[in-house]
Amino acid sequence: MKAALLLVNALYFLFGASMYMGTMWVLRFFLYPTWRSLTPDNVGEHFGVPTILATKFFTVVVPPMFLSGIVLVATEWGDWSHPLVWLAAVCLVGIVVLTYVGQQIIIPVNKKIRGGEYDGPAALTPLLMRWMQLNNIRFVASTITWAAIVWYLVAKPDLLEAL
């Protein structure tokens, strides 16, 4: 039973990390190129709506990821020479970094863009470019976090035995 619960825990973290990484990859490779040409007239539709929806989604998904990350670390606690404890720690640190960067640095920029708090159309593009640069941090962090949870699942044989 314990192994099954730990598997569910790790799979939830994998779900959240996959959603986060997938969102960041879609932003970087598919939306960034089109957002360089946004104007005050269409920024709400093409930037505002997606960022509001993503914020609502991750506000539900991320808090349990913190708990899940803590469980991952607590499960492996004690043997710092074993790679599983480091992978679990990377997962927990990853979600902390992603949340901090998003909440403390990026969301204020989101609000400026959505609220039209910039000096005319010419100032929108540099603000969007700054937003994209900041999200590149989350692009890298989400990819590392996802790789850590995948590696953790592959390397933890008793989790797979729970199936």
Q: Which residue has the tokens 């937003």?
A: 131
pLDDT of 114 higher than 80: yes
Residues 6+ apart with CB under 8 A from 62: 16, 95, 98, 99
Closest CA to 102 of 57, 71, 70, 43: 57
Using CB atoms within 10 A of its CB, is residue 5 exposed (0-12), middle (13-18) or buried (19+)? exposed
Task: Give per-residue pLDDT as tens, 8-38.
Answer: 999 999 999 999 999 999 999 999 898 878 9
Residue 159: is its pLDDT beyond 80? no
pLDDT interval class at 46 (50, 70, 90): very high
161: which 2 tokens? 């035995």
Q: Looking at the 3D structure of the chain, how many domains does it have?
A: 1
- pTM, whole model, 2 decimals? 0.91
CA distance 30 to 25: 8
The answer on pLDDT for 89 being more than 80 is: yes
152: domain range?
2-161
For residue range 132-147, list pLDDT tens digits in order.
999 999 999 999 999 9
Decide: helix, strand or coil at residue 146: helix
What does the alpha-carbon distance between residue 106 and residue 24 come to, in Å, rounded to a whole number? 13
Task: Find the Cα–Cα–Cα–Cα dihedral 23, 20, 127, 133, rounded to 10°.
Answer: -100
**CA 86 to chain CA mean position, Å:** 19
